[in-house]
Structure 1
Amino acid sequence: MTTGTPPPPAGPDTRVAVKDVFGIDSPLTVPAYREPTAHVPEVDTAYRFQPDVTLALLAGFARNRRVLVQGLHGTGKSSHVEQVAARLNWPCVRVNLDGHLSRLDLIGRDAVVLRDGQQVTEFQEGIVPWALQRPMALILDEYDAGRPDVMFVLQRMLESDGKLTLLDRNRVLAPHPAFRLFATANTVGLGNLNGLYHGAQRLNHAQIDRWHVVAALDHLPAEEEAAIVRSRVPSLADEDGRTLVAAMVAVAGLTRQGFRAGDLSTLMSPRTVITWAENTEIFGDPAPAFRLSFLNKCDEAERPLVAEYFQRCFDRELPESCAPAAT
């Protein structure tokens, strides 16, 4: 889309009660849209909101706060933003800031296009100016994986007026009143400290300081995580399935405790637990499904400890339990 195309002027046209929509005990109301458009994410009825993070995100939507969500992988950082947007019918788009993303990808570039049978050079907007001029929530996914030189493109957008300078076009773009900016990160710009997030960059603290709100997203309580797994795998919704899923979530909890204590170099995310449940449905046995879903991802020296976690929760031995532990 070219810079000459005017953005739609529409903004939020209604307000919704936080208590009614998100189930959070709060008297707040937030702006929203009556009808969804093509860029509104689909509602995930199984999603469980964490109240503190949800309120931080709602502050971003309601008061135009720049919100950075930090947490371990698999905790649902990007999904949390998307599901808040889905329930507000707020258009939303995600951009993964991988190491190959360039300034031209974000801002735009000159491209040769065919117009009236003639080849002409025309400036093609990148995703950032396109979203900036629209009632759109832009999510910068894996914010700490972006190259530092590319991240400075966003520096001006993080200031109070949120304007963006297009040096190639000698233009300064003002954001649409309903434009919102969010980001997700594993390390809050501290780099790959524990070796878990290869490719994470150390970011300039002056840029991190420009985010108005930094929310920390942790794993859900065991009961809520189990409810999500059962909703994803309906065949485990009966009484036996509930017992099985509870044991799976318990194993995941032990791996997280082991990771925090330094005994393990990896952990089970909620996404891995869901995969384990799905594979159990395929193979008919949680033991081989556990091996294929998580155990084979672990360091060989750590597998006996992980197998011990499984034995504690399922009262079953795995072959790895008998392997000699690393000294």
Structure 2
Amino acid sequence: MPANQPDDRVRVRDAFGIDSDLVVPAFSEPDEHVPEVDEDHRFDPDVTLALLAGFTRNRRVLVQGLHGTGKSTHVEQVAARLNWPCVRVNLDADISRLDLVGRDAIVLRDGRQVTEFQEGIVPWAVQRPVALVFDEYDAGRPDVMFVLQRLLERDGKLTLLDQNRVLRPHPCFRLFATANTVGLGNLNGLYHGVQRLNHAQLDRWDVVASLDYLPPDVEIAIVRARVPELADSRELVASMVALADLTRKGFQAGDLSTLMSPRTVIAWAENTEIFGDAAAAFRLSFANKCDEAERPVVAEYFQRCFGRELADVSPLAAAS
């Protein structure tokens, strides 16, 4: 593990490209839990400063945004530039209290089977200089969420009832979460499986940051960096991003029930390089995911951005 306390300083302007004179604490050496640095990542100033407040001032930060906005990646990339160990946990419906806190397990000791308590991810992280990130926070089961209630308090002590122990968090333990909603449930039908969050628990988050999609120029630059084969095709990538923006506006207006995230745009660009045709790749990457009643709207978006119809092109014919 790294040093028990940050032993380095990082300038926000240099590390994150944000117009700020802030200097934040960091670790000088990474360990195996520090994420890899993504040089192509673009930081949202407001969300990044909120996350930095979480790392430097031990604030509990919840990042909310639609899918594909890069919520979890934002936390990881801030941690990567601070050399701060970071562990992500998906709070899906199969995660139980025992998974988080720990359970008794049968192990071999000196050739004999004995029952021993095995710590879960929460006690393990609480005792270390680790940033623990709960992904899909609004999809966690209600009975599981109350396990985290005590961690959100100011002192954040964790009580292990099975062990009659109270764990005091490491001074550099940090807690973050990402969610598609703000705890109001699946209002628009887009995120099946999310839960309505207990307001008393939601109120315990010190900072709630909202992350939106990137500006078009930044998204274009990211797609070209992620798909080097299209690096010289800026006009093509610009049309892809423009179409993605139309789907997002259509979603907000109620014309579409789904939208294109930056992740989908990158997949579309990669498939365009594979099949050699933007129309065929678009159908495979996004159009086929849409409801049949909405496909004429999607085809109209394609025609507006590319100046041609979304013809039924065979992917195999396009690839040849």
Alignment TM class, shorter chain as reference: over 0.9
Q: Which residue of 2 aligns with 1:252?
A: 244
Residue 120 (structure 2) pairs with residue 120 (structure 1): no
5 Å-filtered alignment, 1:170-181, equals: 170-181=164-175
Q: Which residue of 1 aligns with 2:280?
A: 288
1:218 to 212, 215, 231: 212
1:72-121, Cα deviation, whole Å (9 max, x unpaired):
00000000000000000000000000001000000000000001101111
Q: Which residue of 2 aligns with 1:311?
A: 303
Q: TM-score, normalising length from structure 2?
A: 0.96
* Conserved? CA contact 1:8–1:134, under 8 Å: no
Residue 77 (structure 2) pairs with residue 53 (structure 1): no
1:239-268, Cα deviation, whole Å (9 max, x unpaired):
xx1110000000000000000001110000
Structure 1 regions of 5+ residues with no counterpart? 1-6, 321-327
Aligned-partner residue type, residue 227 of structure 1: A
Q: Which residue of 1 aligns with 2:261?
A: 269
Aligned-partner residue type, residue 293 of structure 1: S
CA distance in 2, matches of 1:148, 1:11: 34
5 Å-filtered alignment, 1:78-227, equals: 78-227=72-221
* Conserved? CA contact 1:111–1:121, under 8 Å: yes
CA distance in 1, matches of 2:3, 2:24: 19
1:37-83, Cα deviation, whole Å (9 max, x unpaired):
10000000110000000000000000000000000000000000000
Aligned-partner residue type, residue 264 of structure 2: T
Please give the secondary structure, in 1, of the residue aligned with 2:176.
strand
The alpha-carbon deviation at position 319 of structure 1 amounts to 4.0
Distance 1:166 1:210, change over 3 A: same
CA distance in 1, matches of 2:272, 2:19: 37
2:290 to 285, 292, 298: 298
CA distance in 2, matches of 1:309, 1:258: 10
The alpha-carbon deviation at position 27 of structure 1 amounts to 1.3
Structure 2 regions of 5+ residues with no counterpart? 313-320
Aligned-partner residue type, residue 186 of structure 2: N
Distance 1:293 1:8, change over 3 A: closer
5 Å-filtered alignment, 1:229-248, equals: 229-238=223-232, 241-248=233-240
2:62 to 56, 59, 68: 68
The alpha-carbon deviation at position 10 of structure 1 amounts to 1.4
Aligned-partner residue type, residue 81 of structure 2: R
Q: Which residue of 1 aligns with 2:315?
A: none
1:164-214, Cα deviation, whole Å (9 max, x unpaired):
110111111010000000000001111110000000001100000000000
Aligned-partner residue type, residue 77 of structure 1: K
Aligned-partner residue type, residue 258 of structure 1: G
Q: Which residue of 2 aligns with 1:36?
A: 30
1:228 to 219, 222, 225: 222
Q: Which runs of 4+ in 1 moved over 2 A?
A: none
* Conserved? CA contact 2:106–2:115, under 8 Å: yes
Aligned-partner residue type, residue 249 of structure 1: V
CA distance in 1, matches of 2:229, 2:96: 45
* Conserved? CA contact 1:230–1:242, under 8 Å: yes
The alpha-carbon deviation at position 35 of structure 1 amounts to 1.0
Please give the secondary structure, in 2, of the residue aligned with 1:109.
strand
Q: TM-score, normalising length from structure 1?
A: 0.94
The alpha-carbon deviation at position 9 of structure 1 amounts to 6.4
Paired positions, count: 312
CA distance in 2, matches of 1:247, 1:144: 34
